[in-house]
Amino acid sequence: MPSSLSSVTPPARCRIQVNRDQPGSLFVALAGHLDELSAPQVINDFVALLNKEKVPQLFLDLAGVEYIDDFGVAVLVGFVTSVSARNGRLRMENIPEGVAEMLDRHRFNDLCQPEITTTKRKRTDSITNLGIFTLGAFSSLRHSLIFLGDTCLSLLRVCSHPRLLRGNDTLLFMKKVGVDALPIVALISFLLGLIMAFMSSVQLAQFGANIYVASLVSLSMTRELGPIMTAILVAGRSGSAFAAEIGTMKISEEVDALFTMGIDPHVFLVMPRLIATVLVMPLLTLFSDLFAILGGLLVGVSMLDLTFNGYIAQTISTLDLFDVFWGFGKAVIFALLISWTGCLRGFQVEGGAAGVGRATTSAVVSSIFLIILSDSLLVVMLRYWEG
Fill in the amino acid letter for 198.
F
Per CB under 8 A, 77 contacts other proteins:
yes
Per CB under 8 A, 83 contacts other proteins:
no
- Residue 26: φ, ψ to 5°: -120, 130
Helices (H) and strands (E) in the chain, counts: 16, 4
Task: Out of 10, 13, 40, 130, name the contact with other proteins by CB under 8 A.
Answer: 40
CA distances 83 to 28, 112, 280, Å, are 13, 11, 71
Per CB under 8 A, 73 contacts other proteins:
yes
The per-residue DSSP string of 147-183 comes to: HHHHHHHHHHHHHH-GGGS-HHHHHHHHHHHTGGGHH
Per CB under 8 A, the segment of 104-112, 141-149, 193-201, 339-347 that binds other proteins is: 104-112
Residue closer to other proteins (CB basis): 167 or 351: 351
Residue closer to other proteins (CB basis): 107 or 175: 107
Q: Classify residue 3 by its DSSP letter.
A: S
Q: Computed over its alpha carbons, how large is the radius of gyration of the chain? A: 36
Residue closer to other proteins (CB basis): 12 or 233: 12
Per CB under 8 A, 365 contacts other proteins:
no
Per CB under 8 A, 119 contacts other proteins:
yes
CA distances 204 to 186, 198, 215, Å, are 26, 10, 12
The interface mask with other proteins, positions 227-266, x = CB under 8 A, is ------------------------x---------------
The interface mask with other proteins, positions 121-150, x = CB under 8 A, is x-----------------------------
Task: Out of 313, 351, 361, 379, name the contact with other proteins by CB under 8 A.
Answer: 351
Per CB under 8 A, 4 contacts other proteins:
yes
Per CB under 8 A, 70 contacts other proteins:
yes
- Residue 34: φ, ψ to 5°: -105, 95
| Least distance to other proteins, CB of residue 43, Å | 6
CB 200 within 8 A of CB 213: yes
Coil/strand/helix, residue 58? strand
Per CB under 8 A, 78 contacts other proteins:
yes
Per CB under 8 A, 354 contacts other proteins:
yes
The C-alpha angle with vertex 251 and arms to 246 and 257, in degrees rounded to 5, equals: 80
| Least distance to other proteins, CB of residue 187, Å | 34
Kindly report the number of other CB atoms within 10 A of residue 84's CB atom. 12
Per CB under 8 A, the segment of 73-81, 143-151, 227-235, 340-348 that binds other proteins is: 73-81
End-to-end C-alpha distance for the chain, whole angstroms: 93
Residues making contact with other proteins (CB under 8 A): 1-6, 36, 39-40, 43, 69-71, 73-75, 77-78, 81, 106-107, 111, 115, 117-121, 251, 350-355
